[in-house]
Structure 1
Amino acid sequence: MTTTLTDRYLAATLRSVPADRRDEIDTELRASIADMIDGRTADGVDAATAERDVLNELGDPAQLAASYANRRLQLIGPEYYLAWQRLLIVLVSTIPAIVGTVVGVVQATTSDNVGGAIGAGISTAINVALQIAFWVTAVFALLERLGTSLNLPRWSVDRLPDSSARRDTNLADTCASIVMLLLFIGFLPWQHFQTVVGDDGRLPIIDPALWTSWLPVLIAVLLGTIVLELAKYRARRWTGRLVLVNVVLNLAYAVPVIWLLLTDRFFNPDFVAHFAWLRDGGVDTVSRISVVVIVAITIWDIIDSALKAPAPPPNPHPTPPHPHPHPTPTPLIMRLAAV
């Protein structure tokens, strides 16, 4: 028995459709192909050429089988794509940086290899980003294959942003800033109670005496910065008042820390004595570098917030000059002299 192109095409198509539908699809598709071939031969095309043209027009058998089986041929379809994209951007833009920073700080405080600590932090951040991208994509692909509804609200024009109230802050940046601040606040008590030198004794990095003076103040300033981030997000952008508060909070944090670093009151003396490179002048280098970094970040943050704040709008109804200005009042000392 001679096998035709149509037989081979149908065999390739039917192997990818449910078994209980193969006879039905075979009959339907074979009849459609025959009708299309007859239509072309009626126009004068020979049967072999007509058959080849019809099968080429139908396309890849695997794609045709997917349409019969109602099977998606994309990993993330349009119904789920935007939700997948938005969630992935939020997670990848915040979590890897946070985890990498924490790992780098812990490595730097438990070993003398600063370069290795930086490398460990970067490597961890990349690995976390890849894991997030893989698992988020896998979950969304599974949800789509199972036909699980995300119950997302239907889009309408009511959700269009107001062009007159442009937002210069986004949720991802705000969340990232708040998480970093919370991690730093948590690091302060953590370094006090958790040893970082590998022995059984507690050896804080920061001088424990500061808990009765400056550390509570610095924590209060950091909490105030969190409130500032929330206020900035609610206001949609930097405003003049928020810039002023930002200047105050920056100076309230930078000035005490710089003073403590320059007067050798920031680091725990026992912690410095435990490491030879710190004891032999390394702590002075660390302090100077820290001061330069703090000054640079403070100046940059203040300038950046000031540049992003909108300029006050001009007065659309300026007060016209008075036609008969009042005479300048004579100073009291001159009037007394005149008397």
Structure 2
Amino acid sequence: MNTLTDRYLAATLQSVPAQRRDEIAAELRGSIEDMIEDRAGNGQDPTSAEREVLTELGNPSLLAARYADRRLQLIGPAYYLMWERLLRLLLSFVPAIVGTVVAVVTAAEGGSVGSAIGTAIWATLQTVVQIGFWTTLVFAILDRTNTTLDLPGWNIDQLPDVPVKRQISLSDTVASVVMLALTIGYLVLQHFQSWVESADGTNIPIIDPALWTSWLPVIIAVLAASGVFEFVKYRVGRWTWPLYGVKVLLALAFTVPVAWLLFEHRLFSPALVDHFDWFSQGDNLTTLAGGIVIGMAAIMIWDLVDSAAKTRRSTIV
């Protein structure tokens, strides 16, 4: 007769090693019959007692896993924290780097802006999937093979300081870094695709190409250093006078060369100036340069004054 107990045993035994099935079947059947007899001895109907006993034993797949000493998780507690830490670290910068590189290369090869952005997004998503898959696979294998990693254990000295209230928000940091990255990307992209074309369809760069051998790499390096500064500032969590000093240096390192190039009429490419008649009329080019410099100076001064006020507030004990 195909009883509930028979069905429960069959469901359990199909997931345990074949060499142990007879042993586990005898042990489990005996335990079930004993529990049913105890309940029946107390006046309970044997049929309802059997149903309650099997319900209390739970899902036969879970019971089989316990008998087989089989883990029911992809990565166990021995490796979980290490896996999570490494995954967070890799996902924090690798996809962004891959996406940026792919976008720049696509643009440099003559691809359209839409093509460069779409290719970069697709490459970023693929990188995220690949990192997640291979990292998880490696740790799953380590977990199931009980591989011992000779890594330093945790000690009391690793306890972090009590966190202080953050003055630098993650959203502000991300916004600043994205803006800097877009600026650097366009400085490179405009040399190949500025959206200004001559009569024959040739691309006209906004920035004088001659600056690639002089000031333009310096300006890009300053912008990149500003991005690194934003990350450092976020890690510190608040403004300090040393950080403020670095900000002043970076602001001057960007504004002064750009202002000088504008006043010397060396920033814009000669082809761009020739393309627009307005530039060559009277002092229009000088007036435009002066307006841009005044705007840059106003923004820089306002930003430095605001940063100085934040630094003063954060350093008052």
The bucket for the TM-score relative to the shorter chain is: 0.5 to 0.7
Structure 1 residues 15 and 51: CA distance shift in structure 2, 3 A: same
Aligned to 2:12: 13
Cα distance, 1:25 vs. partner? 1.1
**Partners of 2:262 and 2:98 in 1: how far apart?**
27
Structure 1 residues 231 and 74: CA distance shift in structure 2, 3 A: closer
Q: What letter matches 2:43 in structure 1?
A: G
**Partners of 1:55 and 1:246 in 2: how far apart?**
70
Cα distance, 1:127 vs. partner? 2.0
**Partners of 1:24 and 1:223 in 2: how far apart?**
68
Cα distance, 1:144 vs. partner? 1.7
- Residue aligned with 1:3, SS: coil
- Residue aligned with 2:2, SS: coil
Q: 1:311-326 counterparts in 2 under 5 A?
A: 311-314=314-317
**Partners of 2:228 and 2:80 in 1: how far apart?**
34
Give the length in aligned residue pairs: 279
Aligned to 2:242: 241
Aligned to 1:200: none
Q: What letter matches 2:37 in structure 1?
A: D
Structure 1 residues 6 and 117: CA distance shift in structure 2, 3 A: same
RMSD value, Cα:
4.5
Aligned to 2:59: 60
**Partners of 1:116 and 1:263 in 2: how far apart?**
36
Cα distance, 1:107 vs. partner? 2.0
Q: 1:1-339 counterparts in 2 under 5 A?
A: 2-111=1-110, 113-163=112-162, 209-210=210-211, 213-215=214-216, 217-218=218-219, 221=222, 238-257=239-258, 260=261, 265-266=266-267, 309=311, 311-314=314-317
**Partners of 2:262 and 2:90 in 1: how far apart?**
35
Q: 1:293-326, CA deviations, whole angstroms, 9 ceiling, x for partnerless residues?
A: x969978986886576462234xxxxxxxxxxxx
**Partners of 2:153 and 2:251 in 1: how far apart?**
43
Cα distance, 1:75 vs. partner? 2.0
**Partners of 1:129 and 1:73 in 2: how far apart?**
25
TM, length-normalised to structure 2: 0.68
**Partners of 1:158 and 1:226 in 2: how far apart?**
31
Residue identity (%): 54
Aligned to 1:327: none
Q: Which runs of 5+ in 2 are unaligned?
A: 192-204, 280-288
Q: What letter matches 1:71 in structure 2?
A: R
Q: 1:88-110, CA deviations, whole angstroms, 9 ceiling, x for partnerless residues?
A: 22211211111111211222233
**Partners of 1:297 and 1:224 in 2: how far apart?**
19
Larger Rg: 1 or 2? 1
Structure 1 residues 44 and 103: CA distance shift in structure 2, 3 A: same
TM, length-normalised to structure 1: 0.64
Structure 1 residues 47 and 267: CA distance shift in structure 2, 3 A: farther
**Partners of 1:107 and 1:300 in 2: how far apart?**
37
Cα distance, 1:14 vs. partner? 1.1
Q: What letter matches 2:316 in structure 1?
A: P
Q: What letter matches 1:74 in structure 2?
A: Q
Cα distance, 1:71 vs. partner? 1.1
- Residue aligned with 2:314, SS: coil
Q: 1:118-148, CA deviations, whole angstroms, 9 ceiling, x for partnerless residues?
A: 2222222122112212222222222222222
Q: 1:5-31, CA deviations, whole angstroms, 9 ceiling, x for partnerless residues?
A: 212211111111111211221121111
**Partners of 1:143 and 1:45 in 2: how far apart?**
49
**Partners of 2:13 and 2:156 in 1: how far apart?**
45
Q: 1:52-106, CA deviations, whole angstroms, 9 ceiling, x for partnerless residues?
A: 1111111111111111111111223333222222222221121111111121122
**Partners of 1:311 and 1:25 in 2: how far apart?**
67
* Range 75-84 or range 31-40, more displaced: 75-84
**Partners of 2:134 and 2:302 in 1: how far apart?**
37
**Partners of 1:119 and 1:216 in 2: how far apart?**
27
**Partners of 2:310 and 2:260 in 1: how far apart?**
30
**Partners of 2:299 and 2:103 in 1: how far apart?**
20
**Partners of 1:43 and 1:303 in 2: how far apart?**
84
Contact 2:240 2:315 in 1 (8 A): no
- Residue aligned with 2:315, SS: coil
**Partners of 1:135 and 1:85 in 2: how far apart?**
13
